[in-house]
Structure 1
């Protein structure tokens, strides 16, 4: 039995095609049943991929997204498809990371959001990209993102 608050979802519960691009990906949201509470939702994507816009070579990152929801939660299957849509998208590390954050902020209007983009080295230099909407709300328990800085082998 599907609850009425979930009736607008188009991707959950069935076959969904991979979006051709991040712009074509449809992020979906569901009502937050605990909107009166401040709590953190974390999504970890250790196998994020995109393409270098200059060479077309693949780039790899470990993304960690933390947010304190207000009225909406992101539907996780739509988020997974959105993140996967970057596989054929050419953009620099900074732009990819901030594009993910911007789309989520636009969709959810969360009380707070941060993203850590831990990019694996290309040309010997890892690039880490961090952004957040503002100060962490008072009283919110926020664990470390748990991704150590790149140290190479050994």
Structure 2
């Protein structure tokens, strides 16, 4: 399954007040578009839901769908944020991806969304 086929499922937020939800995984992988080697990352998604919350099992499968996806780390991080925002329309969301060092250089990408952007 590719990221385009994976579906983030949602459910109604149980509270009207603003509150924060944080997802974290150290099991993320994608492929370097230049070398084809695996890129490993810790992904943190922190968001303030609007009317909908993202169901965690669907998020797990969605993130796993990047396993064979060739893309630059910056593109992957922004794609995750775009798909997440499209699925649940949060008040705000931040995706932080900490990619393991390759050639002695680690890379962290942080993409943000705020309602009204």
With the length of structure 2 as denominator, give the TM-score of the two structures: 0.94
Q: Higher relative contact order at CA 8 Å, sep ≥6: structure 1 or structure 2?
A: 2
SS for the counterpart of 2:47 is strand
Match of 2:82 in 1: 102
Moved over 4 A (4+): none
Corresponding pairs, count:
115
Matched, 1:30 2:11: yes
Instruction: Determine which of 31, 34, 39 is the counterpart of 1:54.
Output: 34
Show structure 1 runs of 5+ residues with no match. Answer: 1-19, 136-154
Instruction: Determine which of 6, 26, 47 is the counterpart of 1:67.
Output: 47
Structure having the higher Rg: 1
Instruction: Determine which of 98, 103, 106 is the counterpart of 1:123.
Output: 103
With the length of structure 1 as denominator, give the TM-score of the two structures: 0.72
Q: Which has a greater percent of strand?
A: 2
Structure 1 residue 134 displacement after superposition: 3.5
Structure 1 residue 120 displacement after superposition: 0.6
Show structure 2 runs of 5+ residues with no match. Answer: none
What is the aligned-residue RMSD (CA, Å)? 1.2
